[in-house]
């Protein structure tokens, strides 16, 4: 299990431990200290690309599925799979959209704000970037069943890969009443075995790990380091769209902290390989109703500390949270998570990229979401946290008006229409039921539907008034 001589392996993230694990191991925990694992490469034995521009050669080979994929066209930067084992369904055809409309909203200069829209993936969220990589690893080790706990998008992604390939059976664990209809619909329609447990995401994640271990089922939650290898490609595509120039800031919503961990790894690997001259800064945005990372990082000063974060401080935070029976509570269901499993990796990412963490309220999230939509891209509530966070960091002066900023829009607008319709609709009862009880007071940028009688003159009159 340990002492590998292969050029690709898994390695404990804590440098003091550094235990290595074989590529095909699927426990995803360090056997010695229980820490998280990285996928690691011996770049003396695998030749890395010489320049990021080399990847442009893949554009001319779009008829090859591996070059078509927005993930696998960067495979030389995560070379863990033989090409004939790669499972791709064409993920990663995404868009980096410059948005002066959003720039104006947050107080940035024209041409400085970009939205990385991951809703264009086959299952409608960034999760497909990671799923294609984890799925490929699962296939390499001969898995027949794959499981995850999910607030919705991981399960939608797993379900779609299983349905599109028929190589594996999807088993998904969701908390009861916690999943949006759009996401539940995907899991059901794509044929996943859907296990609804009486509890929230944190409960579901704990259970799925126990069940996966007991039944030998392949786990695709973001504790799986192969998923994070695929998610690195989100940042490669950002660089590609910026003609390989490094932006000043990347802002990303924080839930289980897989994305920020993956982005950090992507950038410090590129820096170590001499492929970029510097790393961008990273900002993780929590929802105020699920702000563990914000509390630990900004309030309690917990740091990576060379691989030894203050575990006593972290444990006492969780103990206090449990004894107060504090449960994550936000409309941004994709980040409604209290115990982020990738916490140590996220600390490491912020350390090396000069990171910050902020929290935003559901009010700020929905207002930012309305602005994103009015600016021409739709996203789900959790995704808009990145834009709400940018507004906050601009107001604080942490991010300057002329800095080049990328907000990651993690999921598609149609994932969760309930909050959107409640926000824009004109029914006060729905507003109260969906938004009011979560602390949202106003729909600051509502686009209300207009009620008119079924009468041609009245309809014409209404249109002349409003448009
Ligand atoms: C999963 C998810 C997140 C949270 O990402 P982490 O990597 O868990 O921090 C944010 N937004 C959306 C839409 C998601 O599906
Ligand atoms: Zn270890």
Contact 384, 334 (CB under 8 A): no
Mean pLDDT within 452-460: 95
Q: Which of 47, 62, 80 is the last residue of a domain?
A: 47
Q: Which atom of ligand 1 is nearest to the CA of 152?
A: 15
pLDDT 10s digits, 236-286: 999 999 999 999 999 999 999 999 999 999 999 999 999 999 999 999 999
Does 334 sit in the ligand 1 pocket, CB within 6 Å?
A: yes
pLDDT tens, residue by residue, 42-70 = 999 999 999 999 999 999 999 999 999 99
261: CA distance to ligand 2 center in Å? Answer: 17
What pLDDT shows up at residue 151? 87
pLDDT computed for residue 80 by the predictor: 98
Could you write out the three-class secondary structure of the chain?
Answer: CCCCCCCEEEEECCCCCCCEECCCCCCCCCCCCCCCEEEEECCCCCCCCCCHHHHHHHHHHCCCHHHHCCCHHHHHHCCCCCHHHCCCCCCCCCEEEECHHHHHHHCCCCCCEEEEEHHHCCCCECHHHHHHHHHHHHHHCCCCEEEEEECCHHHHHHHHHHHHHCCCEEEEEEECCCCCHHHHHHHHHCCCEEEEECCCHHHHHHHHHHHHHHHCCEECCCCCHHHHHHHHHHHHHHHHHCCCCCCCEEEEECCCCHHHHHHHHHHHHHHHCCCCCCCCEEEEEEECCECHHHHHHHHCCCCCHHHCCCHHHHHHHHHHHHHCCCCCCCCCHHHCCCCCCCHHHHHHHHHHHCCEEEEECHHHHHHHHHHHHHCCCCCCHHHHHHHHHHHHHHHCCCCCCCCCEEEEECECHHHCHHHHHHHHCCCHHHHHHHCHHHCCCCCCCCCCCCCCCCCHHHHHHHHHHHC
266 and 379 housed in the same domain = yes
As a whole number, mean pLDDT of residues 218-236 equals 97
The percent of residues above 70 in pLDDT, for the chain, comes to 99
Q: Is residue 110 part of a domain?
A: yes
Ligand 1 proximity of 259 Cβ (cutoff 6 Å): yes
Whole-number Å distance, alpha carbon 27 to ligand 1 midpoint, is: 22
Please tell me the predicted confidence (pLDDT) of residue 2.
47
Q: Which of 223, 253, 293 for a ligand 1 pocket mutation test, highest count of atoms within 8 Å of Cβ?
A: 253
Expressed in angstroms and rounded, the spacing between residue 153 Cα and the centre of ligand 1 is: 8
CA distance 25 to 179: 31
Q: Please indicate, yes or no, whether residues 386 and 276 belong to a single structural domain of this protein.
A: yes
Residue 258 beta carbon below 6 angstroms from any ligand 1 atom: yes
The confidence score (pLDDT) of residue 407 equals 98
Ligand 1 mutation target, pool 258, 266, 381, 408, most atoms within 8 A of CB: 258
Does residue 252 fall inside a structural domain?
yes
Q: How confident is the model at residue 273, as a pLDDT?
A: 97
Both 314 and 376 in one domain: the answer is: yes
Cβ proximity of 230 and 161 under 8 Å: no
Q: Evaluate if residue 115 carries a pLDDT over 70.
A: yes
Give the strand pairing for 20-21 and 8-12: antiparallel
Does residue 171 lie within any of the structural domains? Answer: no
Instruction: Report whether residue 286 contacts ligand 1, using a CB cutoff of 6 Å.
Output: no
Supply the residue whose CA is at minimum distance from atom 2 of ligand 1. Answer: 334
Name the pLDDT band for 201 (thresholds 50, 70, 90): confident
Is the pLDDT confidence value at 8 over 50? yes
Residue 383 Cα, ligand 1 centroid: separation in angstroms?
A: 8
State whether 346 and 250 are in the same domain. yes
Q: Give the residue whose CA is nearest to atom 1 of ligand 1.
A: 334
CA of 409 to the centre of ligand 1 (A): 10
Ligand 1 atom index nearest CA of 255: 9
Specify the pLDDT at position 447.
Answer: 96
pLDDT at 18 over 90: yes
* Spatial separation of the C-alpha atoms in residues 395 and 175, rounded to whole Å: 36
464 domain-assigned: no
Q: Is the C-beta atom of 222 inside 6 A of ligand 1?
A: yes
99 in the same domain as 38: no
Cα 103 from chain centre: 22
404/325 same-domain check: yes
* 235 closest CA partner among 257, 221, 250: 250
Within-domain flag for 363: yes
Is the confidence at residue 177, as pLDDT, over 80?
A: no
Going by alpha carbons, the residue nearest to atom 4 of ligand 1 is 255
Ligand lying closest to the C-alpha of residue 231: 1
382 within ligand 1 shell (Cβ under 6 A): yes
Task: State if residue 125 touches ligand 1 by the CB under 6 angstroms criterion.
Answer: yes
Of residues 199 and 384, the one with the higher pLDDT is: 384
User: By residue range, what is the domain housing residue 360?
Assistant: 95-122+227-418
pTM of the model: 0.97
Indicate if the pLDDT at residue 345 is higher than 90: yes
Mean pLDDT of the chain: 95
pLDDT digits (tens, 9 = 90+) for 277-327: 999 999 999 999 999 999 999 999 999 999 999 999 999 999 999 999 999
pLDDT at 102 over 70: yes
The average pLDDT across 142-153 equals: 94
User: Has residue 321 been placed in a domain?
Assistant: yes
The answer as to whether 260 is a domain residue is: yes
> Two tokens at 449?
């539907």
Which pLDDT score, from 0 to 100, does residue 243 have? 97
**8 A C-beta contact, residue 377 and residue 414:** no
Q: Is the pLDDT assigned to residue 176 strictly greater than 90?
A: no
In a domain, 385, yes or no: yes
Pocket test for ligand 1, best of 116, 297, 410 (most atoms within 8 A of CB): 410
Which ligand does the CA of 409 lie closest to?
1
For residues 423, 428, 431, 436, the Cα torsion angle rounded to the nearest 10 degrees is: 120
Kindly give the distance from the C-alpha atom of residue 258 to the centroid of ligand 1, in angstroms, as a whole number: 8
Q: Which residues contact 457 (CB under 8 A, 6 or more apart)?
A: none
Instruction: Report the pLDDT value the prediction gives residue 346, as an integer from 0 to 100.
Output: 98
In whole angstroms, how far apart are CA 463 and each of 136, 421, 456?
53, 21, 11
Percent of the chain clearing pLDDT 90 (strictly above):
93
Q: How far is the CA of 253 from the centre of ligand 1 (A)?
A: 7
Say whether both 307 and 406 belong to one domain: yes
Helices 127-140 & 225-241, crossing angle to 10 degrees?
A: 140
**Residue 33 contacts residue 19 (beta carbons within 8 Å):** yes
Ligand nearest to the CA of 201: 1
Distance 225 CA to ligand 2 centre (A): 14
CATH of the domain at 284: 3.40.50.1100
382-436 pLDDT, tens digit per residue, is 999 999 999 999 999 999 999 999 999 999 999 999 999 999 999 999 999 999 9
For residue 180, the model assigns a pLDDT of 86
Number of compact structural domains in the chain: 2
In the reported structure, the alpha carbon of residue 218 is separated from the centroid of ligand 2 by a whole-number distance in angstroms of 21
Span 175-199, average pLDDT: 90
Q: Is the pLDDT of residue 1 over 50?
A: no
- Using the mean position of ligand 1's atoms as its centre, give its distance from the Cα of residue 302 in Å: 22
Does residue 113 share a domain with residue 1? Answer: no
């Amino acid at each position: 299990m340990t002492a590998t001589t292969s050029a690709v392996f898994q390695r404990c993230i804590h440098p003091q431990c550094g235990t290595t694990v074989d590529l095909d191991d699927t426990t995803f925990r360090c056997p010695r200290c229980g820490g998280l694992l990285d996928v690691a490469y011996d770049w003396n034995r695998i030749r890395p690309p010489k320049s990021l521009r080399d990847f442009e050669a893949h554009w001319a080979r779009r008829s090859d599925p591996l070059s078509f994929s927005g993930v696998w066209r960067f495979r030389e930067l995560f070379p863990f799979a033989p090409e004939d084992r790669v499972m791709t369904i064409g993920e990663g055809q995404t868009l980096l959209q410059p948005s002066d409309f959003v720039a104006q909203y947050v107080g940035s200069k024209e041409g400085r704000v970009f939205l990385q829209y991951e809703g264009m993936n086959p299952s409608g969220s960034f999760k497909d970037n990671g799923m294609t990589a984890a799925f490929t690893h699962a296939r390499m080790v001969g898995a027949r069943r794959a499981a995850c706990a999910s607030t919705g998008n991981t399960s939608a992604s797993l379900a779609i890969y299983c349905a599109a390939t028929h190589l594996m059976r999807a088993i998904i664990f969701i908390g009861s009443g916690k999943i949006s209809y759009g996401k539940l619909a995907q899991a059901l329609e794509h044929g996943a075995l859907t296990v609804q447990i009486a509890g929230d995401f944190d409960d579901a994640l704990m259970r799925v790990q126990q069940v996966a271990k007991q039944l030998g089922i392949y786990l695709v939650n973001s504790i799986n380091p192969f998923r994070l290898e695929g998610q690195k490609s989100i940042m490669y595509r950002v660089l590609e769209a910026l003609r390989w120039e490094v932006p000043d800031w990347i802002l990303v919503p924080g839930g289980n902290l897989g994305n920020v961990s993956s982005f950090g790894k992507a950038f410090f690997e590129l820096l170590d390989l001499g492929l970029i001259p510097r790393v961008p800064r990273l900002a993780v945005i929590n929802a105020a109703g699920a702000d563990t990372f914000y509390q630990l990082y900004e309030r309690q000063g917990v740091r990576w500390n060379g691989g030894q974060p203050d575990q006593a401080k972290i444990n006492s935070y969780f103990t206090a949270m449990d004894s107060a029976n504090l449960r994550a509570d936000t409309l941004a269901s994709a980040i409604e998570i209290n115990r982020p499993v990738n916490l140590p990796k996220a600390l490491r990412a912020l350390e090396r990229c000069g990171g910050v963490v902020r929290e935003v309220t559901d009010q700020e999230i929905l207002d930012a979401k309305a602005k994103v939509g009015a600016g021409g891209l739709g996203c789900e509530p959790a995704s808009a946290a990145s834009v709400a966070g940018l507004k906050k960091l601009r107001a604080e002066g942490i991010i300057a008006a002329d800095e080049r900023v990328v907000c990651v829009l993690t999921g598609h607008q149609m994932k969760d229409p309930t909050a959107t319709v409640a926000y824009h609709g004109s029914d006060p009862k729905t507003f109260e039921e969906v938004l009011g009880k979560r602390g949202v007071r106003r729909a600051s940028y509502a686009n209300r539907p207009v009620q008119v009688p079924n009468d041609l003159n009245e309809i014409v009159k209404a249109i002349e008034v409003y448009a």
